[in-house]
């Protein structure tokens, strides 16, 4: 059995994690931005490792994220209790309806729009990162960029601590392979009106390096 597979979106996130890793059995793979490419690439990496007789033992989606300002500061670290596909569903005049509430047969929904973190893996990460903010992390296809959509998202997911773009896709790939999953994020920007210049990427990448020893 191989070690842990850590999936990031971009190479800068992978480099930051590698810089802090203490366990040589951890593989870090940058696979692209968004849940579709992240899910497909993770599934392929898991299948190749299994076919080679060296299956991974667990999967972590890791990288930077937007944080809900009242719950986590820029530069802070977040651990997901669940990864939620926040925009998977239907709009209606009465508001957003999550895919789970559309009346589809359960077999068509996979795990639904919420994939909980593996309890043991999450407990190990929490023990190693006691300062981390813990709560649901949303997966979005579109970076939230207005005050109105931030407020709407916050109303729909009042416990959510952060949003990113890959966690749910990676989680579904891990679940299909029967592997434990967790999501670890560091906050590069507050969720809110778009201000790309205010993203603190360097600070968030440094926090990823600091958190990396927890990945073992
Ligand atoms: O400049 C942009 O608007 C932009 C749009 C998409 C991706 C990026 C990246 O730099 C990719 C990195 C990665 O960052 C995660 N991330 C960071 N902050 C947020 C956020 O506020 N909302 C959603 N995702 C965020 C995400 O996982 C990207 O893959 C730049």
Position 111 scores a pLDDT of 79
| Whether residue 33 has its Cβ less than 6 Å from ligand 1 | yes
The Cβ-side half-sphere exposure at 147, using a 13 Å CA radius, reads 0
Position 180 scores a pLDDT of 98
Domain count, the chain: 1
Position 107 scores a pLDDT of 81
Separation of CA 119 and ligand 1 centre (Å): 27
C-beta separation of 49 from 77 below 8 A:
no
Position 44 scores a pLDDT of 98
Separation of CA 128 and ligand 1 centre (Å): 26
| Whether residue 65 has its Cβ less than 6 Å from ligand 1 | yes
| Whether residue 94 has its Cβ less than 6 Å from ligand 1 | no
Q: What is the pTM of this model?
A: 0.96
Averages of pLDDT over runs of 10 residues in the chain (216 residues) are 90 98 97 98 98 98 98 98 97 95 87 95 98 98 98 97 98 97 98 95 98 97
Position 105 scores a pLDDT of 86
| Whether residue 190 has its Cβ less than 6 Å from ligand 1 | no
Bridge partners, 66 (sequence order): 163, 189
Query: 181: domain CATH number?
Result: 3.40.50.1580
Range of the domain at 202: 4-215
Q: What is the distance between the alpha carbons of residues 136 and 167, in angstroms, rounded to a whole number?
A: 11
DSSP character string of the chain = ---EEEEESSHHHHHHHHHH---TT-EEEE--SSHHHHHHHHHHHHHHHHHTT---SEEEEEEEEEE-TTT--TT-EEEEEEEEETT-EE--TT--EEGGGS---GGGSTTTTEEEPPHHHHHHHHHH-TT-EEEEEEE-SS---SHHHHHHHHHHSTT--EEESSHHHHHHHHHHTT--EEEEEEEEEESSS--GGG--HHHHHHHHHHHGGG--
Q: Which of 15, 164, 200 to mutate to test the pocket of ligand 1 (most atoms within 8 A of CB)?
A: 164
């Amino acid at each position: 059995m191989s070690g842990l597979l850590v999936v990031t979106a971009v190479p800068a996130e992978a480099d930051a994690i590698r810089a802090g890793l203490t366990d040589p059995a951890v593989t870090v793979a940058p696979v692209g931005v968004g849940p579709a490419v992240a899910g497909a690439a993770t599934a392929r990496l898991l299948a190749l490792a299994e076919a080679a007789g060296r299956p991974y033992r667990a999967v972590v989606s890791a990288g930077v994220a937007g944080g809900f300002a009242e719950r986590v500061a820029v530069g802070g670290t977040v651990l997901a209790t669940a990864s939620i596909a926040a925009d998977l569903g239907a709009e209606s005049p009465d508001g957003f309806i999550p895919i789970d509430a559309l009346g589809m047969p359960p077999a068509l929904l996979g795990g639904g729009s919420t994939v909980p973190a593996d309890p043991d893996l999450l407990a190990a990460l929490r023990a190693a990162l006691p300062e981390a903010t813990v709560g649901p992390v949303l997966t979005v296809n579109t970076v939230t960029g207005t005050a109105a959509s931030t407020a709407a998202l916050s109303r729909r997911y009042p416990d959510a601590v952060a949003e990113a773009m890959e966690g749910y896709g990676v989680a579904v790939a891990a679940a299909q392979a029967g592997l434990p999953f967790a999501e670890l994020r560091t906050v590069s920007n507050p969720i809110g009106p778009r201000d790309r210049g205010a993203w603190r990427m360097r600070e968030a990448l440094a926090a990823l390096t600091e958190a990396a020893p927890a990945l073992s």
